[in-house]
Amino acid sequence: MPHEPQRIAMLSVHTSPLDQPGTGDAGGMNVYIAELARALARRGAEVEIFTRATSSALPESVHLDEHDDRVLVHHVPAGPFEGLDKNDLPAQLCAVTAGVLRVGAARPAGWFDVLHSHYWLSGQVGWLAAERWDVPLVHTMHTMARVKNAALAPGDSPEPATRVIGEEQVVAAADALVASTAEEGQDLVGMYDADPERVHVVAPGVDLGVFRPRADRAALRRELGLPVDRDVVLFAGRVQPLKAPDVLVRAMGVLRASGRPVPLLVVLGGPSGRATALTELQALAATSGVADDVRFHPPVARAELARWFAAADLVAVPSRSESFGLVAVEAQAAGTPVVASAVGGLRSVVQDGVSGRQVRGHDPAVWADALATALADPASRTTWRAGARRVAEQYGWDATAEQVLKVYALAAERRARVAV
């Protein structure tokens, strides 16, 4: 097998690994890219991440971590710095590609060993850059238009045909495709006609040191301003139809209307897509009669997020589509059971009856019953807490990096074979 790549270019066009997850377009993918880059660096690789500049105040290049020079982030100017929606970015891909190639041109020939693109917009740029640099293209989809369109929330807009076509092109061009779960790999083959030999399943990881159980949850709750004597259900993520926090708010309304105990629902996240998404969710809480039962809090840094997870009785992940479900793994690493939709990667990372519960569909009444049943059974939740940590311990970023390096080597081998 060819040697492990030592210089890796990563593309994250529409969102930066430096952005705060939980608002705008920043989410699990940002965490994935940053943590994978760090884990690759720990194995001796040099990683350069290219992302579109969203402010004139950003430096051209900056280290991902202040005291570690092994991961460099390049801010590529392309189009207006501000005001561009993700759906506007296809028109800027030529500009992004030019910026990426300009940085590459300043390097000696053959500098990069592999190019790893994330999300279809990056894949379009990577397709051209990999050809110019004569390196293998490895691509991770993170989400897929056809999968999302099959599970749209009521009133949500479908992903455009432009994206579907772009994804098909990237799948065909990539030397290797990294899927987070076997189900995602099957979707690539079944929905996008991917070559099965190019699809490699590599589970993302979790920082088991940061996300860990806490001994004194009562003290932790007091520090976070949470009630000690009331059940707490936590939602962490972007406030958008795909993540379905509205299902949880409506479920709280069902509990209130039926006279059952209502936990405190904490929504830890910011608006994504529509600027009014958060105010709309707050209005829904009011009209559902649970304005005082839902607390909204802006996104927090990773170490702080781990404390919120550990403080909650349950973490709810009601997503309509989820390629992996990093929030669920991180919550379980903190020793907190997860109640999750039985969709996508969540079917793999949340073990029903072991680390939490899987819920079929998005009927608020069904979710209300699932949450109420779990909260009314402290004995099961104690068992689930131990199970949650055990499940999370199966995932680690160093193991992810080791497997991804093998994919890089296989992609290089395939490219060399085809070139002969």
29 annotated to a ligand binding site? yes
Containing H/E element for 265? Answer: strand 264-268
Q: Which amino acid is at 75?
A: H
Residue 86 assigned ligand-binding role: yes
Distance CA 340, CA 288 (A): 22
Do residues 262 and 256 touch, judged by C-beta distance below 8 A?
Answer: yes
Beta bridge partners of 73: 49, 62
What strand order describes the sheet that includes 294-297?
294-297, 264-268, 232-236, 314-317, 338-341, 356-359
Task: Please tell me whether residue 160 adopts helix, strand or coil conformation.
Answer: coil
* Residue 20 annotated as lining a ligand binding site: yes
- 326, 29 in Cβ contact below 8 A? no
382 burial level (CB within 10 Å; 0-12, 13-18, 19+) = exposed
- Please report, in angstroms and rounded to a whole number, the separation of the first and last CA atoms in the chain: 17
Query: Does 14 count as an annotated binding residue?
Result: yes
30 is annotated as contributing to ligand binding: yes
**168 annotated among ligand-binding-site residues:** no
Cβ 43 vs Cβ 7: under 8 Å: no
| Residue 23 host element (H or E) | none
**235 is annotated as contributing to ligand binding:** no
Element (H, E) at 300: none
Please check if 184 is assigned to a binding site. Answer: no
DSSP E strands: which ranges in 131-251?
Answer: 137-140, 176-179, 199-201, 232-236
Instruction: Give the SS3 label for residue 120.
Output: helix
Q: Tell me whether residue 238 is annotated as binding.
A: yes
The verdict on whether residue 149 carries a ligand-binding annotation is: no
Q: Are strands 7-11 and 46-52 parallel, antiparallel or unpaired?
A: parallel
Q: In angstroms, what CA-CA distances link 111 with 9, 115, 135, 174, 212? A: 10, 11, 10, 20, 39
**336 labeled part of a ligand binding site:** yes
Q: Is 181 annotated as a binding residue?
A: no
Residues 6+ apart with CB under 8 A from 205: 35, 36, 39, 395, 396, 397, 398, 399, 400
- Report whether 400 belongs to an annotated binding site: no
Q: How is residue 271 annotated by DSSP? A: B
Distance CA 340, CA 253 (A): 19
47 annotated binding-site participant = no
Q: Is 143 annotated as a binding residue?
A: yes
Residue 163 annotated as binding? yes
Element containing residue 187 per DSSP (H, E): helix 182-192
Tokens 């991180």 map to which residue? 330
Q: Is 26 annotated as a binding residue?
A: yes
Residue 148, marked binder: no
- Between CA 278 and CA 284, with CA 279 as vertex, the angle to 5 degrees is 95
Residue 223 annotated as lining a ligand binding site = no
To the question of whether residue 312 is assigned a binding role by annotation, the answer is yes
Specify binding-site residues for 1D-myo-inositol 3-phosphate. 14, 25-30, 86, 119, 143, 163
Specify binding-site residues for UDP-N-acetyl-alpha-D-glucosamine. 20-21, 28, 238, 243, 300, 322, 330
Specify binding-site residues. 14, 20-21, 25-30, 86, 119, 143, 163, 238, 243, 300, 309, 312, 322, 330, 336
Specify binding-site residues for Mg(2+). 309, 312, 336
